[in-house]
Amino acid sequence: MNEERVRALKELEASLGYCFEDMGLLDNALTHRSFVNENNSLSCKDNERLEFLGDAVLELTVSDMLMKKFPDDAEGELSKLRASVVNEQPLAGLARRFRIGEFLLLGRGEEASGGRMKPSLLANAFESLIAAMYLDGGFDRAAAFTRMLFEPLIEAGTAAVYRDYKTAAQEICQALFQELPRYAIIEETGPDHDKRFETSLIIGERIIATGTGRNKKEAEQQAAKMALETLRENGPLLAGGTDAIGP
């Protein structure tokens, strides 16, 4: 690695809060096969083997978290919860949070086609990063990093087990944004005997989701339910400071 690459990787380390003993592992985790194919003379390796390993580390760590959080849930429910957080969308969101795309080594074709922004490529790179941490510092350090990031995602992914969606939305918003949601009535329609309310759930100045109901409470619950679905898919991205995805 040249000095410029080392400086870039140290910047990423600072963002991650993790210092690699073997920075070559981090470099490997961020090397796409398109770069290797175009630079055979550099004798570098792509990150596909690390991706394979990182997927296993993530699944084990998240499975352990779910087993402890829901000791009475059946295997099928735990599998659904795990699948809701260990999949392309949330993994890509975490990669964006740490700007991993900026540090990838890509071939010219992949670069030209917007590879740094592709969800599949970002998700794979994040899995490779977890594997690099595991090989560099052992399972405990990799698992600690994973638990820190996935606790809010697990909260979001368990929306289905809550009867009171407002309570769930409050807990998740506190975990992701360190603030409570508020509700605002957007529209009230219909005669007195058949009212319909439209209510939005708002974080800061951002509308996260909107729901409707026959009364204010029902509309707020529906807005909270829709917000939980949104946060499950985009929570890390929103928490990273991007613009609202609501209307």
Q: Please indicate whether residue 55 is annotated as part of the active site.
A: yes
C-alpha distances in Å from residue 150, one per residue of 23, 73, 225, 232:
24, 19, 20, 11
**Predicted pLDDT of residue 162:** 40
Question: Over its length of 247 residues, how does the chain's per-residue pLDDT go in tens digits?
Answer: 789 999 999 999 999 999 999 999 999 999 999 998 888 777 789 999 999 999 999 999 999 999 998 887 778 778 878 887 888 888 988 999 999 999 999 999 888 988 888 888 999 999 999 999 999 999 999 999 999 999 888 876 654 444 467 888 888 888 888 889 999 999 999 888 778 899 999 998 899 999 988 788 878 888 998 898 888 777 666 666 534 434 4
The neighbouring-strand residues paired with 6 are none
Q: Please indicate whether residue 73 is annotated as part of the active site.
A: no
**Predicted pLDDT of residue 154:** 81
Q: Which of 27, 55, 155, 220 is catalytic?
A: 55
**Predicted pLDDT of residue 245:** 39
**Predicted pLDDT of residue 230:** 85
Tell me which long-range contacts 167-176 makes (C-beta under 8 A, separation of at least 24).
168/224, 168/228, 169/201, 169/224, 169/227, 169/228, 169/231, 172/228, 172/231, 172/235, 173/203, 173/231, 175/151, 176/152, 176/231, 176/235, 176/236, 176/238, 176/239
CB 183 within 8 A of CB 194: no
CB 231 within 8 A of CB 217: no
CB 151 within 8 A of CB 175: yes
Distance CA 183, CA 209 (A): 10
The neighbouring-strand residues paired with 188 are 197
**Predicted pLDDT of residue 239:** 66
> What is the distance of C-alpha 106 from the center of its chain?
23
Q: What's the order of all strands across the beta sheet hosting 182-189? A: 182-189, 196-203, 206-213
**Predicted pLDDT of residue 217:** 80
Exposed, middle or buried by CB within 10 Å (0-12, 13-18, 19+), for 67?
exposed
Region at 178 (left for phi over 0; alpha for psi -120 to 50; beta for the rest): left
Non-local (6+) Cβ contacts of 244 within 8 A are 205, 206, 207, 208, 238
Q: Which of 46, 51, 110, 127 is catalytic?
A: 127
Query: Could you give all domains of the chain from N- to C-terminal order, each with its CATH number?
Result: 3-157 (1.10.1520.10), 161-239 (3.30.160.20)
The pTM (predicted TM-score) of the whole model is 0.63
